[in-house]
Structure 1
Amino acid sequence: MKKLLYSVIALAISSTFATAQVRVGVTGGLQVASQQIKVQGITITGSNLVGFQAGLLLDAAVSENLSIRPQVLYSVKGGKYNIGGNSFTTTFNYIELPIQAVYGFPLSSGRVALGAGPYVAYALNGKDKAGSVSQPVDFGSGEDQIKRIDYGLRLSAGYELSSGLGITAYYAPGLANFVNTAQGTAKNSAFGLSLSYLFGGV
């Protein structure tokens, strides 16, 4: 069933790009990430970790106002914690693929662009740091290891000039539990501000 679903999605995306006007762009900006951990009914929300996202984007127009916009991003996420007087920081470096439906409507010399869709990410590496001591995150399927795959939603609102330059605010709540233990859950979230440039204009 999963293979059939993936095949249908891949066919729909390939059909969209085959008939659409596709433009290429670049994007990058700062994001503020945090993590929420729940253990035995207790919720711990880490304080904000400043990171960034940067990469490439495609914009495939399917109508005058609607387009499909996938991105390939290098994304830094994580969180800071202070538990029992001890502070530590967890940082993950992801390759992230958001795919959004973007609806735009004219305003002044450009347009407002509203986007929504899922994202999936793969952790390249990570580290835990306490004071001056740091160690790499151990990825795997063991109870004391971290899952590499993350996924969630991406919601955005921005303004794009006719020249192709745009500025976008986004919120990306994670839906995936990235720990393997049955005693708790841990999820990423991030919000940020990015600049983009679409070659060929809007």
Structure 2
Amino acid sequence: MKFKIIVLSLSIVLIGLHSAQAQTSFGIVGGVNFQNLNGTDSDGDKLDNDLIVGFHAGVNLLIPVAPDFYFSPGLLFSVKGASDEAIGIVGSYRINYLELPLNLVYKAKVGNGHILLGFGPYVGYAVGGKAKFEGDNDSYERDIVFQNTIESGDDPEFYLKRFDAGANIFFGYELEAGLFLQLNTQLGLLNIHPEDKRVNDDESVVKNTGFGISVGFRF
């Protein structure tokens, strides 16, 4: 399943490259993420998590659709997650996603370059992740387990759903030479916490949120 998702995502980008108009441009991009997992625990209390620092890297297209407006599909590898602390143990959770952003971009001439303003949805598929726990005398690491439902007999692990979706917003500036800088924010709209049948009236809600800085080059 994971391989099929990767192949499908790459195919979408390659088809876009093949069929794009002459004015279409191709970009590479990378940067740093500041991510969190927001929501509520099983009792409905607000999660008290802290940011982690991750990264993202990938490619995108700018396809003209109207004067100064572009459709921008892309493919990103992005590290998200959060950290927390309880009874002297620090937990950090890092989730590796393949993401397909589908943005509408306004690109207008300003000075020696162009301002960039974009927004749109994204879909993500978790290809892996780690949960790490550190105390005063011990530390250990476990793979995050991805499934949609936690059954009553399942082992005590850190569980999440694989699929995510949400919204992107970014603002940036692109030089005539093709170098660009962007400030990004993402808001996850799907609850990525599985249904937990071990808990009566489970009120757990977990959503990805974050912001970041990207630098890239457009050809």
Question: Does TM, normalized by the shorter one, top 0.5?
Answer: yes
Q: Confirm or deny: 8 A CA contact 2:20 2:63 kept in the other structure.
A: no
Contact 1:20–1:62 under 8 Å retained in 2 = no
Counterpart code for 2:149: G
Tell me the equivalent position of 1:189. 209
- Taking the aligned partners of 1:83 and 1:153, their CA distance within structure 2 comes to 31
Residue from 103, 108, 113 that aligns with 1:110: 113
Counterpart in the other structure of 1:170: 184
Gaps of 5+ in 2: 1-11, 196-201
**Structure 1 residue aligned with 2:167, among 144, 153, 161?**
153
For 1:95 and 1:63, locate their aligned partners in 2 and report how far apart those are by CA, in whole Å. Answer: 29
Quickly say closer, same or farther: Cα 1:83–1:54, change in 2 above 3 A.
Answer: same
Q: 2:188 & 2:148 partners in 1: Cα distance?
A: 19
1:41-77: CA deviation from partner (whole Å, max 9, x where unpaired): 3101411100000011111011230001111000000
Q: CA-atom RMSD, angstroms?
A: 1.9
Q: Is the 8 A contact 1:25 1:197 kept in 2?
A: yes
Q: CA deviation at 1:104?
A: 1.6
Asked if 1:125 corresponds to 2:128, the answer is yes
What's the counterpart of residue 7 of structure 1? none
> How many residues are treated as equivalent by the alignment?
186
Aligned residue for 2:79? 76
Query: Could you tell me which amino acid in structure 2 is paired with residue 133 of structure 1?
Result: Y
Query: Given that residues 44 and 203 in structure 2 are in contact (C-alpha distance below 8 angstroms), is that contact kept between their aligned partners in structure 1?
Result: no
Measure, in 2, the Cα distance between the counterparts of 1:60 and 1:23: 7
* TM-score, normalised via structure 1 length: 0.86
Q: Structure 1 residue 21: deviation in Å?
A: 3.0
Q: Which range moved further: 59-68 or 36-45?
A: 36-45
Which string of whole-angstrom CA distances, capped at 9 and with x for unpartnered residues, describes residues 127-161 of structure 1?
11101200001111222632100110000000011
Q: TM-score, normalised on structure 2?
A: 0.80
Of 27, 30, 40, which residue of structure 2 is paired with 1:28?
Answer: 30
Contact 1:47 1:81 in 2 (8 A): yes
Q: Counterpart in 1 of 2:69?
A: 66
Q: Tell me the amino acid that sits aligned with residue 36 of structure 1.
A: N
Deviation at 1:111, TM superposition (A): 1.1
What secondary structure sits across from 2:149 in the alignment? coil
Whole-Å separation in 2 of the counterparts to 1:170 and 1:45: 23
Once residues 35 and 162 of structure 1 are traced to their aligned partners in structure 2, the CA distance between those partners, rounded to angstroms, is 37
SS of residue matched to 1:177: coil
Instruction: Give the whole-Å Cα distance in 1 for the aligned partners of 2:39 and 2:118.
Output: 28
Contact 1:72–1:98 at 8 Å: present in 2 too?
yes
* Unaligned residue ranges in structure 1 (runs of 5+): 1-9
Q: 2:145 aligns with which of 110, 120, 138?
A: 138
- Residues 177 and 46 (structure 1), Cα distance of their counterparts in 2 relative to 1, 3 Å cut: same
Post-superposition offset of 1:18: 5.5
